[in-house]
A and B are shown apart, each in its own frame.
Chain A
Amino acid sequence: MAESYRRSRWTNGLFVVPYLSVFLTLLVFPLGWGIWLSLNKVDLFGGERFIGLKNYARVLSDPIFGQAVKNTLIFVGVSVPTLVILGLFLALALNKTTKGSSFLRGLFFASSILSVTIVTLIWRIVFIPNDGLMALIFNYFGWQPIGFLSTTGWSLFSVGVATVWWCIGLPMMLFLAALQQIPKDLYEAAALDNASRWRVLTRITLPSIKSTIMLVAIIQVVMQFQLFGQAQLMTNGGPAGSSRPIVMYIYEIGFLRWDIGMGAAASQILFLIILCAAMLQYWVSTRKEETDA
C-alpha cells in the first residue's frame, strides 16, 4: 500500500494545480509581458510600437536613474548592516525570561505591525521643521535646526531612521529564535574554561547563528531594495532627487509621465540588480564556509 502512495501519478499533480495556475497567470505571464512592454513605446493609454532596446538605453542614460541607483545602494548599504547589528544586539540583550526583557521584545517588534503610511506620518511629524519633535529638541538645547527632510544627505538619513524603526522587529526575533537553538553544553564547556563574555560571543554564539545572520541579511537586502513608500511619503524623493529610490523612479516614469514602456524597462533592471545582490551575498557566504571548513 505504502508503495502505491509513493508511486508517481498524474493525479498527485492536482495538488499543485491551484498554485501553479496563479503562479503562471500572476507572476510568469506578467514577467514576460513586462519584458515585452519594455521593448515597446507604450503609454498608460495604449499605443504599442516595437522599439527594441531603446527604452533600456533611455533608462541607462538617464542621470536621474543613475542617481536613484546610487541612493538605493547607499540606503541598502547602510540600513541593512544597521538592522543586522542592532537586531543582533537587541536579541543578545533581551535573550532572557524576565518580565522586563519580554516587555521590551514586544515593544521592539510592535512597530513592524504598523502600516507604512502610519510610520511615515509619525516620523514626518517628528522631523518637520519648526513644529516637529526634533525641532523642539534642537530649539530647547539652542542648536542650529537641521532640515531633516529637506537637506541633501539628511533626507535619505531620515527615511533610513524611519525604516530601521519600522523594520527592526523581525531581525531581532529571528536572532532570538536562533539563540535559543544553540546547544547549552557549548556554554557549559565555556563556563568551565572560564572564558570571557567576549570570547563566548565571538567563539560560540556568533558562529552558531552564522546561517541566521546570512538569512536576515538576505531578507533585508531584498526588502530594502524595494524601498518606496517611506521615501515617497516623507520626502517625495527630494531634495533634488537625493532620496529618490529606484522603485519611486519606476512609479514616476509609469504613472506621472505615463511611459510604462520605459517604466517596465527600469523595473527589469531593478530585478537584475536585486538578483545579482542576493546571489553575490549567497556566493560570499558559501565561499566563506568553504574556507572555514
Chain B
Amino acid sequence: MKALNYSPEHLTSNRRLFWIAAALGVIMMAPVAWIIGLSLKDNAELLKGTEAVFSFPYTLVNYANILESSSVFGWFMNSMIVAVGQTFGVLLLSSLAGYAFARLEFPFRKTLFIIVLFGLAVPEQAVIIARHQMFNWFDLHNTHIGLILPNLSSAFGVFLMTQFFRAIPKEIDEAAMLDNTSTFRIFWKVLLPLTLPAQATLGIFTFLQAWNDYWWPLISATKSDMYTLTIGIASSQTNFAQSEGLGFLGAQAIFASLPVVIVYIFFQRHIVTAVSGGAVK
C-alpha cells in the first residue's frame, strides 16, 4: 500500500468497479448502435429480416429521405422555441421571486413563500385537464405561448433560487446599499451575476424538462405545424412496418437527437457541473 491510497477516489473506487461500469456502458450503447445500424440499411432489405444489419451494403438513403421530405426540421424549431422560451421565462421569474423571498422584507413574505412551497407538491397531472379547458377559453392551444406558459408556474425554480440567494453573504448587498443603489440595481448588477452557477443548473433542468415534455404538447399542439419534436416523432411511429420502415424510423431518431447530442458533447463539462450544482445544497 502506497501512501497515496487514502485519497477518497482510491477508497471509494477501484479497477474492478470501473470495468463493471464499462461493461454496463457497452450494454447502454447497444440499443443505440442497433438503431444506427438499422438507419444505414435499405428498408426493403430490412423487411426480409433485420439480421441484414450485420452485413454490407450500407446506405445513407434514409438520411437523404429525411433531408428531402421529413418534417423533422419544423418540429425541431418548435421544440427549440418552446424550450428556450420556457428556460428564459423560468430563470427570470424565479430569480426575481427568489431574490425577494431571500433578501427583502415585505408584507406576507413568509406566508406567500409557504404557499409557493406548497406548489412544489402539485404534479402536472393534477391540473392538466383544467388547464386544457382554460387554454380553450383563451384560444391558446396550438401556439408557442400556449406551450411555454404552463411550466412557468413550476415552484421548483423559485425554491432553488431562494436557496441560492440566501447563501450569498449579507455584506455584499449591504455594501451596495451604502452607495444608495436602488433595490432593483442591487438585484440586477450585484447579486444576479453571483447566482450564475445556480442559473445554469436551473436553466439546464428547465430546458431538458421542456425538451422532453410529452403530455401537454400531446393535447395542446394538435396541429402538425405546432408539433414539438417529441410529438412529431410519436406521430411517425404509426404502423411502422406498413409505412416508413425501420430504417427510416431509426434514421429519424438519430437525426432528431443529433443537435442535442452535439450540444451535449461540446458543453458536457458545463452541463455536468451545473447538474451536480443542484446537489450541493
Contact = CB atoms under 8 A, between A and B. Distances in A.
A178 B12 CA distance: 13
Interface string A166-180: 000010011011111
Nearest to B27: A165
Given A100-B18, A178-B279, 15 more contacts: A15-B96, A22-B153, A26-B131, A31-B130, A34-B129, A96-B9, A109-B275, A118-B233, A125-B38, A125-B246, A177-B277, A212-B279, A250-B129, A260-B132, A271-B123
A55 to B, nearest CB: 12
Given A16-B112, A121-B233, A2 B177 contact: yes
Given A5-B174, A96-B18, A260-B129, A125 B34 contact: yes
Contact of A173 (B93, B134, B276): B276
A113 interface: yes
A29 interface: yes
Interface string A249-262: 01100110000100
Interface of A: 1-2, 4-13, 15-16, 18-20, 22-23, 25-31, 33-34, 37, 89-90, 92-97, 100-101, 104-118, 120-126, 131-133, 136, 165, 170, 173-174, 176-182, 184, 187-188, 190-192, 197, 200-201, 204-205, 212, 215, 222, 225-226, 228-229, 233, 246-247, 250-251, 254-255, 260, 263-264, 267-268, 270-271, 274-275, 278
Contact of B237 (A13, A95, A113, A124): A124
A181 B215 contact: no
A278 B133 contact: no
Interface in B119-149: 119, 121-134, 149
A27 B25 contact: no
A96 B17 CA distance: 11
Interface in B9-34: 9, 11-14, 17-18, 20-22, 24-25, 28-32, 34
B106 interface: yes
Contacts of A112: 208
A201 B79 CA distance: 43
Given A108-B28, A181-B280, A12 B237 contact: no
Contacts of B38: 125
B228 to A, nearest CB: 8
A259 to B, nearest CB: 10
B126 A267 contact: yes
Contacts of A117: 214, 229-231, 233-234, 237
A63 to B, nearest CB: 21
B97 A15 contact: yes
A17 B177 CA distance: 23
Contacts of B260: 113-114
B23 to A, nearest CB: 10
A15 B264 contact: no
Given A247-B125, A267-B129, A270-B123, A113 B261 contact: yes
A231 to B, nearest CB: 11
A125 B180 contact: no
Given A121-B253, A182-B8, A20 B112 contact: yes
Contact of A97 (B9, B12, B24, B29): B9
Contacts of A89: 17, 20-21
Q: Output the residue of B11, B108, B246 with the most chain A CB within 10 A.
A: B11
A264 B212 CA distance: 24
Nearest to B155: A23
B214 A229 contact: yes
Contacts of A97: 9
B24 A90 contact: yes
B183 interface: yes
B56 interface: no
A128 B260 CA distance: 27
